[in-house]
Amino acid sequence: MDRRCLLAGLAALPVLGAPRLSLASPTLAEDPAANPEVAPKNPRWPIAPQYYPTEVEVKPALAVGSIIVVSDKFFLYHITAPGRAMRYGVAVGKAELKFRGQAVVARKVEWPNWKPTPEMVERSPSHYARYAETGMPGGPRNPLGARAMYLYQNGHDTAIRIHGTVEPASIGHAVSNGCLRMVNDHVIALYDTVPIGTPVTVY
């Protein structure tokens, strides 16, 4: 299926009102300050309503179980049944760093460790050089957030992850070094339903 047809099909689909199946914890979605471990500094939850988990209609031909990311719209679709998907908001890579293509989820980690790539260190040594050798252990301050799904192509790590974030206000923006960020609650929900081997297509 070419990108133009896919985008036209997804863009034309109506959102089914308020999220029919919300996967976010109400305490976090409505008042993140209720959980200081993951609460953003801004006391108001910074995610626009369209980026909450929402059940939507999609083209029936899309493979059940697959993940499709439409970067320009900042949406990730997990196809849950023929013609049905859960849609999540994501942050994507900056213009020159956007990942495009097909991959598979080859590894899944809870509260993953994080280590910047050599390219990240080279681009911004003031931000990343101190983590270049030892990285950062998993935890609520880790940039990968609560969960990470590692994308591989032909058995090789792409260095692209679908992961949580400590910056939920970045959802809906092109700000990352290529990875796909999700709100921690949302990535946990996706992580729990996505097996190893899940195909991922990023447009």
Per the annotation, the verdict on 5 as an active-site residue is no
Per the annotation, the verdict on 179 as an active-site residue is yes
Question: Quick one: which of 129, 131, 69 has its CA closest to 101?
Answer: 69
> Are 62 and 32 within 8 A, CB to CB?
no
d(CA 78, CA 41): 29
Dihedral (Cα; 13, 19, 20, 24), 10-degree rounding: 130
d(CA 91, CA 89): 7
DSSP letter assigned to residue 95 = G
Catalytic residue, from 5, 127, 156, 179: name it.
179
Q: Where are the alpha helices (DSSP H) in the chain?
A: 3-11, 26-30, 118-123, 125-128, 184-193
DSSP letter assigned to residue 94 = -
DSSP bridge pairs for 200:
67, 103
Catalytic residue, from 78, 127, 163, 186: name it.
163
Query: What amino acid positions are annotated as catalytic residues?
Result: 163, 179
